[in-house]
Structure 1
Amino acid sequence: MAGEINEGSVPAYYREVYEAICCRTDERVQVEVFHRLLQRTDLSKVVLNQIAEHVDSADGFLSKLALYKALALIALAQQGKQPSPKLLENCIQELPKPLLGEPRDLNALRMQPAQEDVLTLSLTLDRLLARDTVQVELIPEKKGLFLKHVEYQVTSQHYKISVYRRYSDFDVFHEVLLQKFAYRVVPALPPKRMLKGVLTSVSERDFIEGRRRALCRFLNLVARHPFFSEDELVKTFLTFSGSDVQSKLRDTYKKTGDEFMTNRIATQAKEYLPADIQAQFSTSRELIRNIYNSFQKLRDRAEKMAERSKENATDLLMFGRELSTLGSDASTLPSLASSQSTWGTLRQSLKSLSVEFAVLSDKAAQQGRREEDDVVEKLNLFLDLLQSYRDLCERHEKGVLHEHQRALHKYGMMKRQMMSATVQPKEQGSVEQLESRIVQQENAIQTMELRNYFSLFCLHQETQLIFTYLPITSHILGAFVNSQVQGHKEMGDVWNELQPKLGCLFGGNNGLKPPI
């Protein structure tokens, strides 16, 4: 077979050896594993060095074809020939089979590549935030045939496209996302409408705005998730401009199934888990619970501060209006007061002050919006992520673990029935049927055990994701300090401009020391 080695030109044994020693998470063979393979031959060290020199392994790995070439050289050397690429080029017969033993016995040579730790997420917050930024804007209400509905314009910075979505589209997207990534943190959606019968001071307009903000946070967390961001479901929701995005999303999910079915290491997850995974999980869960409680209190305080800024804006505006009303009073002063009082002059000055107080009100309102957008929203974003982690922990315990225990209980009952059937003879058909059910249950239990370990594997990674997001605390504090500095400076500038204008109200004191 003159020419290059390829997949179809090698004996089946070559492929079996490759499958036995290649990395589980890589399609290549680690150099250390290859050297161990060479040691299984009866060749001299000189010949082994010659074979190694003819095989490309500069980056610490052998490709599949490089391994095939090495196996051919080993086989030729074992036949007493000098191993060289030229010898392979002139080989016109089927490549010989090297004497290395049964492929299944070579599994022990395999090593996990040291530089690839599939359990650890090598991410930073900046890299996560740079994945995408999604804007969700409210489109003016449209009236359908029977009911009016709210529509949103969704714009992805990553895909550079805008699409239009209704709440029901978000609902279906969340549903299929949770089905596919049941073992990951999937943020919850805000409620579709205000709960009936619940006393609330929130107006419908405020509720719709709050829901828009929550949908925006949901999409940003999803679009930045290391396992969601490039998924076809996310891409479809952010880019599909057809008429029925809901059917498109469901069809996309049906084609792939859940993550357990598509993840290449799902069935091997147990091998990558640390021995104390349960203890780590318990410790991390408690720590994250405490972090959640603290951030919730921070958010509540930040909301109150933003609300106070808005209230301050209203109070300043009303204060100015009252001054204007007072100054606009054109009532004639009685003769008793007009001779000595300066009220007439003061009254004219008061009217002009309402302009400055309107500016102060506007600055206070801007301060409130900054606190809401830059501080409260960032706190809510992280709280949404923390809450989704808590939901994930519950799904793991009440879902996978509970189903596994229930399956084991059912299996135990079947085994007892089988033992009873052997003691008390029954019809052959019913016994065979019971045996078949037991086999099916054993397979189901095995699958559940694999899913349980994969769930723990994902949970371990999602815990890392939470800690990757923790530096957002510095972003929040920076935004808080900056908003206060900017707000106080802007307000201070207006107050300083207002101060000299008070001179006419307090004689020659220029407004600095009112004579009281």
Structure 2
Amino acid sequence: QKIMSEDPSFCTDNPPKQYQEIYRILSGSSSSNSDSRGSTEDSSASSELESPIDRGLFLALLEHSGLPAGTLRSIWSLAEPADNYLTKRGLFRALALIGLSQAGGGSERQQAPSLAALRALPEAPTPNFGDLASLAKEAARLRRERQPAKMSMSLEELEELDTVTVTLQQEQKGVLVFRHRVYKVTSRRYDSSNLRRYNDFRSLNELLLQRYPYRIVPQLPGKGRPLSGSGGAAFLEERERGLQCYLNLLARHPTVCDDEMLRLFFTCSGEDFEKALRSAFGRPLDEFLTHAQAASVKQLVPPDAVQRHEESRRFAQGLLQRLTACRDCLRCLAEASRSAGAAVAGLAVRLDELGRQPQLQPPVEWAAMSAEADSWAQVQAGLPRVTAAYQGVAARYEDKAALEDSVVASAEYLVMLIDGFVQLAERVKHLKRDHDRSMRNLTDFKKRASSHHMAGRDRWAVEDLENRIAKHESVLQDLEARTHFANFCLGLETQLVQANLPLVRSLLLSLTGSQIVGHAQIAEHWSNCKPLVEGLLQQQQQQQRSPVIPGPSENRSPKSDTTSAKSSP
């Protein structure tokens, strides 16, 4: 502790951003949750929130430094490890020592860098570990291996796994009753783009549910039948958005993302993908039969796992109900913007008809009734310019609706994830019921066998009961192992939901930004319309306000006017 207190400020109070980023990678904490934001004013209070750095993860970091083994051992000892882990301050000191060694401080003059040389530095040395992205992937892999019951991935890392886009194609495939719509599916991870029909999505969903019964496999959007007109277009847009959310949830799942069936879905370019998928995988074995740790997860499941999962299920149900209502409100916002744009566009069309149809002229008699008989002609002549400006306003409403649609897609993503978690919790709950029912049946069989022994019943009846007990015990052992594995997976999926909950903040930020940008653009275009509308009668109003200058015949004195008036009869 005394040596630690003598560390330079870049190891304690003001660590560089690179040090903070490496700490975030090794600790597995997200940037929003870590307390390394450039200031550690109250280190004693924040130390409780610090995550220790595992020795294996730190050794993986040292391998990227390129320093000799003796130097690395000295750096490890100078970092003052405790029980095979490093504290946050110890990591920062080790990073500074690595940077000092790479700069030459530990190469020729001395076998390893010293703390005295470190304290003499005016600023923090910069260590070189190559690409930090590869280091982050390796650290995540090591964390999963060392802590299989912890997901160890942040929201940013999940989003970096893949980004999938689904675009509905206008052209339909097939003939007559076999006509169907196709979707263009693009994957950033596999750098692929292929056409898929809805039945391909459905086949993939069925096989994934068979393989991963204890993971979040989101519910596939319903097929349905599109209505005619605008209702059909809205249905197709909603299903397109739902399919995109569905694939992104699968592609960003820590386990499902590496599945061969999903890889084939993104990369296969054949005509009949559904047939190729089923012929390649048939009826896949579920994860319990293929997982390397399925038989040893019992010690990884906490004793109160059932109670915890029940509380998580109830919380997720309440969260799902309220987030679904929020998503519906966001849909109403987008629909309101789209309806307002359609109304302004319709108004522009009607005004254009007023300005361009020659038969819409006032009767000749109107000229004798009013001195402003020609005002309609001026208004009609200026309407085409106004309608063009109104069409620009309508386009801005459409742009605002498009921004709001992206917010709706984010809400749909979160709703689909939590709904998949609730369905998974229900499946695990039913599995627990099957296990309890099997336990009761086994107890009943044993009681009957004991009573038969006591009563001296037929030996064949007793042997039959004993055989049934043996078979039931085998089934019960399988159910018990499955229950432990299901609880293990459900714990990981709970962490997956927790990692995605910050999307609520991102969603609200996107909504606020869309409203600011959308309303600003709409207000700007309405402002551009104002001078055009004011100019419809501006020429006539200027003529009415201008003074009348008398002509030569009217330039007479008042006296002559009086004389002429008197001489008149």
Q: Is the shorter-chain TM-score for this pair beyond 0.5, marking a shared fold?
A: yes
The 1-side partners of 2:168 and 2:301 are apart by 45
The partner residue of 1:344 within 377, 380, 385 is 377
The partner residue of 2:163 within 122, 125, 133 is 133
The 1-side partners of 2:327 and 2:145 are apart by 40
**For 1:238-387, what aligned pairs fall within 5 Å after superposition?**
238-250=266-278, 253=281, 257-328=285-356, 329-333=360-364, 334-337=366-369, 339-341=371-373, 342-372=375-405, 374-387=406-419
Q: Structure 1 residues 340, 299: closer, same or farther in 2, change over 3 A? A: same
**For 1:70-469, what aligned pairs fall within 5 Å after superposition?**
116-139=146-169, 140-144=171-175, 146-194=177-225, 203-250=231-278, 253=281, 257-328=285-356, 329-333=360-364, 334-337=366-369, 339-341=371-373, 342-372=375-405, 374-398=406-430, 400-423=431-454, 428-469=459-500
Over aligned residues, Cα RMSD in angstroms? 3.1
Q: Structure 1 residues 337, 291: closer, same or farther in 2, change over 3 A? A: farther
Q: CA deviation at 1:206?
A: 2.7
Q: Structure 1 residues 358, 269: closer, same or farther in 2, change over 3 A? A: same
User: Quick check: 409-418 or 168-177, which moved more?
Assistant: 409-418
Q: Structure 1 residues 351, 153: closer, same or farther in 2, change over 3 A? A: closer
Amino acid at match of 1:354: T
Amino acid at match of 2:163: T
Conserved? CA contact 1:232–1:252, under 8 Å: no
User: Quick check: 129-138 or 424-433, which moved more?
Assistant: 424-433
Conserved? CA contact 2:144–2:151, under 8 Å: no
CA displacement 1:461-493 (0-9 Å, x = unmatched): 111111100111222122212212221222222
Percent of counterpart pairs with the same letter? 29
Amino acid at match of 1:184: R
CA displacement 1:36-87 (0-9 Å, x = unmatched): xxxxxxxxxxxxxxxxxxxxxxxx79xxxxxxxxxxxxxxxxxxxxxxxxxx
Amino acid at match of 1:237: F
The 2-side partners of 1:249 and 1:442 are apart by 37
User: Quick check: 417-426 or 320-329, which moved more?
Assistant: 417-426
Q: CA deviation at 1:321?
A: 2.4
Q: CA deviation at 1:161?
A: 1.3
| In the alignment, structure 1 residue 502 sits paired with structure 2 residue 529 | no
The 2-side partners of 1:474 and 1:143 are apart by 44
**For 1:18-37, what aligned pairs fall within 5 Å after superposition?**
none
Amino acid at match of 1:148: R
Aligned-partner SS, 1:203: helix
Detail structure 1 runs of 4+ shifted over 6 Å in the superposition: 199-202, 508-511
Counterpart of 2:115 in structure 1 is: none
The 2-side partners of 1:271 and 1:368 are apart by 51
Structure 1: gaps of 5 or more residues: 1-29, 32-59, 62-112, 512-516
Amino acid at match of 2:484: Y
Conserved? CA contact 1:223–1:229, under 8 Å: yes
Q: CA deviation at 1:422?
A: 2.6
The 1-side partners of 2:210 and 2:414 are apart by 23
Conserved? CA contact 2:164–2:248, under 8 Å: yes
CA displacement 1:221-240 (0-9 Å, x = unmatched): 00110011111121122212
Conserved? CA contact 1:309–1:365, under 8 Å: yes
Aligned-partner SS, 2:256: coil
Q: Structure 1 residues 242, 435: closer, same or farther in 2, change over 3 A? A: farther
The 1-side partners of 2:457 and 2:223 are apart by 57
Amino acid at match of 2:403: R
Conserved? CA contact 2:186–2:192, under 8 Å: yes
The partner residue of 2:521 within 490, 494, 499 is 490
The 2-side partners of 1:237 and 1:179 are apart by 16
Aligned-partner SS, 1:154: strand
Aligned-partner SS, 1:257: coil
Aligned-partner SS, 1:150: strand
